[in-house]
């Protein structure tokens, strides 16, 4: 879990690596390593280790935890696609993309390494091979790079929004339109380090959605992301008054979640489409709903099913 800290008055004007070493009580060399691996960074501007810390700077710490105990294995994490360059896993809920401070559960990267899957060494320490992430509470398809060639090319494709990421989400209420686009910048919420919100000072975020099925009290939608901001789908639908079912952090009704047997937000990464980094062949990988999300849908369908008309005589 990441945390934020304002630049201390006593360190204004210092080199960034010097300031970080003082803030964390470690050597300058170790602080420089954390900056270079993006575990420590400026929130409001790009900062190298030689940058000068200025008044008003916010420093973001997202340190990879050094585990004392072996990481648990995500035994039920299926592989949806694999070759010598990439592996696409069907991530279960409750599995993080990679290790982070405060997280003691299984991770995608750790489980793949424990299974003996070769992963490229490119990428930040503890996050090698990862070019996009899913939240712990979101299930579905996630791509990890096995080769150096794949890491460089897939990182480019994700950065330039060439990868087509399709999600299915169940949102509260009855959406007025059958399809629409939400375009609203997203940044960290002032109320907490781990919550995000629509804010004029945030980063560009674009979400396209189409209605798949209506239940009156909830709507099943297909979602395509142009950008990949943290919590983007959850924040955007909450911002238009339709939070994801099962997502109380962003305003969902906990009573509805309980009635549907949900213990997390109804959100699943259904499909990934990308140009294969080596062959250049357009590749499509698909997933299915996990049991808890399917159960919630079945419950809604049963509740809103039209009863048969009895004919007499």
CA distance 226 to 223: 10
Residues 6+ apart with CB under 8 A from 206: 181, 182, 183, 225, 226, 227
User: Computed from CA positions of residues 287, 293, 297, 299, in that sequence, does the dihedral angle turn out positive or negative?
Assistant: positive
Q: Does residue 9 have an active-site annotation?
A: no
CA distance 214 to 177: 11
CB-based contact 222:212 (threshold 8 Å): yes
Where b means 16+ CB within 10 Å and e means fewer, 248-271 reads: ebbebbeebbeebebebbbbbbbb
CA distance 35 to 49: 6
Q: Give the length of the chain.
A: 313
CB-based contact 85:146 (threshold 8 Å): yes
CA distance 202 to 197: 8
9, 57, 85, 135: which is the annotated catalytic residue?
Answer: 135
- Reported as type and span, the H/E element at residue 171 is strand 164-172
Catalytic amino acids? 135
């Amino acid at each position: 879990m990441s945390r934020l800290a304002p630049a201390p008055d006593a360190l204004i004007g210092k080199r960034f690596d010097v300031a970080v070493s003082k803030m964390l009580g470690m050597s300058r060399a170790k602080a420089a390593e954390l900056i270079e691996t993006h575990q420590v960074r400026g929130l409001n501007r790009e900062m190298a280790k030689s940058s000068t810390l200025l008044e008003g700077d916010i420093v973001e710490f997202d340190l990879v935890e050094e585990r004392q105990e072996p990481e648990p294995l995500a035994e039920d994490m299926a592989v949806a696609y694999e070759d010598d360059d990439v592996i696409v896993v069907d991530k279960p809920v409750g599995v993080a993309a990679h290790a982070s401070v405060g997280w003691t559960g299984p991770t995608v990267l750790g489980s793949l390494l424990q299974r003996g899957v070769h992963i490229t060494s490119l990428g930040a320490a503890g996050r090698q091979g990862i070019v996009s992430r899913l939240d712990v509470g979101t299930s579905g398809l996630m791509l990890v790079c096995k080769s150096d060639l794949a890491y460089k090319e897939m990182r480019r494709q994700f950065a330039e929004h060439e990868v087509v990421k399709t999600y299915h989400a169940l949102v509260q209420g009855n959406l007025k339109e059958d399809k629409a686009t939400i375009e609203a910048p997203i940044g960290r919420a002032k109320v907490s380090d781990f919550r995000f919100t629509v804010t004029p000072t945030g980063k560009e975020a674009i979400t396209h959605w189409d209605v798949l099925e209506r239940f009156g009290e909830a709507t099943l939608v297909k979602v395509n992301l142009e950008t990949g901001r943290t919590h983007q789908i959850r924040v955007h639908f909450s911002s238009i008054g339709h939070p994801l079912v099962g997502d109380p952090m962003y305003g969902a009704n906990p009573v509805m979640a309980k009635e549907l047997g949900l213990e997390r937000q109804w959100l699943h990464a259904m499909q990934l489409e990308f140009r294969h980094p080596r062959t250049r062949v357009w590749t499509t990988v698909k997933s299915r709903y996990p049991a808890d999300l399917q159960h919630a849908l079945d419950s809604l369908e049963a509740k809103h099913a039209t009863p048969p008309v009895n004919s007499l005589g």
